[in-house]
Amino acid sequence: MSLRSNAVAARLVLALAVGLALAGCQKKEEQAATDAVAPAAATAAEALEGQVDIVAWPGYIERGETDKNYDWVTPFEQDTGCKVNIKTAGTSDEMVSLMTQGGYDLVTASGDASLRLIRGGTVQPIDLARVPSFANVDERLKQGAWHFVDGKNYGTPYQWGPNVLMYNTKAFPTAPKSWSVVFEEQKLGDGKSNKGRLQAYDGPIYLADAALYLMAKKPELGIKDPYELNEEQYAAVLGLLRKQHPLVHRYWHDANVAVQDFTNEGVVVSGSWPFQVNTLVANQQPIASVVPDEGATGWADTTMLAANAKHPNCAYKWMEWSLNAKVQGDVAAWFGSVPAVPAACKGNALLTDTGCATNGFDNFDKIHFWRTPEAACSTGTCVPYSRWATDYVAVMGGR
């Protein structure tokens, strides 16, 4: 509106130079033209396209199909007329691949994917003016290094949380205190070995979990950041993971398969998302979780807009909707995560007023959030993600 008003004012000044009467006529004509044309142009530019296509982690975008109480898609579709199409992905690598191929508007990217998407030009900076609820985002997340690059926000924070150590309480009468139970062969609380009874994550970023353990186990390596490893530190991490390989029942990337292994396959301990913990507890399985003494890796996920999004207006509507306190609380209750909007921590019937504390709201500073390893790092030169990806495939193959 301000641009159109300035233009009218400028033309009025010129009109006065040639006569008051003429100016009056000209103003009426031009104002009529402005009223007739400008709103139509604005409407066309902002018209909602009728759909939005999103790549998301399982459990992140629910429409009540599993539990009718958890539905933040249907109200959005009713309010906007934008149909939500969801493609779930089990790993960050899969998300990057899908977004690179194209055909999607948004992705709920973790930090080990977001920098790759930014560097590759796959996503675009967002216009915060179109997402007014960004003002309500947790200050700790607004300029997270995984999405705030070169002074620009490449997305809106969605949810965050730790990668917890999940365990069967029958095998662990006392909660384990160290990640050693998944990295080194040992007898567990039930007197049996952990060999063949544990899971490891099927994703190269899992090297950071091993690095985090070695930060405490072998301080002489000098690891300060699990995402910044020199050649010596990297070799030690690979050595630990190769030593772990014979102990692993399954390398998981499907959260539901991970749940089934704990239910039917005798698996008793694993690094996990809170989602699996909540699912197993809801199914009355003897499951609990803990953040061990060494701390934990974690994820702060960002809703990012594709550089070539076909439905940008519906996408912006979704980004704004996703920061609604009710939606944020419902997602956190379902997934076991922490809302990106602190206001969601109070007054949500599903999450309850203790839910944020239970899910780790106060553990933010203890979490080493996933971040894409890059060759250029604070210590000089580090091993880049491309090698993490190649070498972890070899580790999982027993090489």
Cα–Cα distance, 152 to 55 (Å, whole number)? 22
Q: Percentage of the chain with pLDDT > 70?
A: 89
Per-residue pLDDT reduced to its tens digit, 92-104: 999 999 999 999 9
Q: What is the mean pLDDT of residues 241-270?
A: 96
Please give the structure tokens belonging to residue 308.
């070539």
Residue with tokens 């993600």: 385
Please give the structure tokens belonging to residue 99.
């977004």
Q: What is the mean pLDDT of residues 252-271?
A: 95
Q: Which of 195, 112, 189 is nearest to 389 (CA)?
A: 112
Per-residue pLDDT reduced to its tens digit, 339-376: 999 999 999 999 999 999 989 898 898 899 999 999 99
Which residue spans within 30-126 are E strands per DSSP?
51-56, 83-88, 106-109, 123-124
Residue 287, SS3? strand
Q: What is the mean pLDDT of the chain?
A: 89
Cα–Cα distance, 176 to 190 (Å, whole number)? 12
Q: What is the pTM of this model?
A: 0.81
3-state secondary structure 232-272: HHHHHHHHHHHHHHHHEEEEECCHHHHHHHHHHCCCCEEEE
**Looking at the predicted structure, is the pLDDT value of residue 4 above 50?**
no
- Judge contact between 152 and 125, C-beta under 8 A: yes
pLDDT greater at residue 16 or residue 152: 152
Per-residue pLDDT reduced to its tens digit, 200-255: 999 999 999 999 999 999 999 999 999 999 999 999 999 999 999 999 999 998 88
